[in-house]
Amino acid sequence: MINFFRKIRQKLLTENKFSKYLFYSIGEIVLVVIGILIALSINNWNEGNKRKSQERDLLLQMKRNLEADILQEKYPNLVLENAMNSTNIVLDYLEQRKPYKDSLDYHFGWIPAYTIHMTNTTAYENLKTIGFDIISNDTLRENYQKLYSFNYELTKFQRNELAYNNMIEFKIFYKKHFQNFILLNNATPIDYQSLLENNEFHEMLMTTRRENTIQKTFKNTTKKEIQKLIEMIDKELN
């Protein structure tokens, strides 16, 4: 088509028909511009499809990571429940000044229980590299970032620092007042009667119960946030 216009233009120049020459020159320019615009549109369409495909892959990866996070919390949930139950039983014995029973050894062993918080961060790290703006749903993007920057960071602090440090304190205390200490298994008091009067031990138990209660509440809140994110991702994928 361009060669066709070029031949006409050359013929018009030869015949000194300037006005027609100008018309065909403009037509040739318009044709080139239209071609460029079409090429740009096709390129933008291809880039848009590529971006959509990349977003979909990331959404699927996000969903897999979040589902894995829920599944791997089953054991920590069990540990926390056992620790809270054992703490309550021992506190009840101390506060009611009940006589010692061998079964208490199991509960003494469970009181300092803790678990390390670990999350699946593959999708999150990929998004940090690619850019979070590839997630077109603003609410989904913001809630997902909040989950990692707030919920997971606070959970990590509760478990990897507070609960861990609490376990160390119990370990130090148990060395003085217990024997046969095996975490999640056993701790036999050297002098049970002295524990009934030990304010330090009572305060440690109260602190543990309080922190575990806060941890459990926040764990439930975080789980709900994860489930909402999974539902939002499903809507985007469908």
Quick: pLDDT tens for 71-97: 999 999 999 999 999 999 999 999 999
In this predicted structure, the answer to whether residue 37 has a pLDDT above a threshold of 80 is: no
Q: Computed over its alpha carbons, how large is the radius of gyration of the chain?
A: 34
Chain segment 105-156, per-residue pLDDT in tens: 999 999 999 999 999 999 999 999 999 999 999 999 999 999 999 999 999 9
Structural tokens at position 192? 């049970």
pLDDT of residue 51: 81
Comparing 114 with 39, which gets the higher pLDDT?
A: 114
The answer to which of 17-21, 71-75, 101-105 has the lowest mean pLDDT is 17-21
pLDDT category, 235, cuts 50, 70, 90? very high
Sequence length of the chain is 238
What's the whole-model pTM score? 0.78
Residue 91's CB: how many other CB atoms inside 10 A?
17
Q: How far apart are CA 87 and CA 167, in angstroms?
A: 13
- The mean pLDDT of 158-163, rounded to a whole number, is 95
Comparing 22 with 101, which gets the higher pLDDT?
A: 101
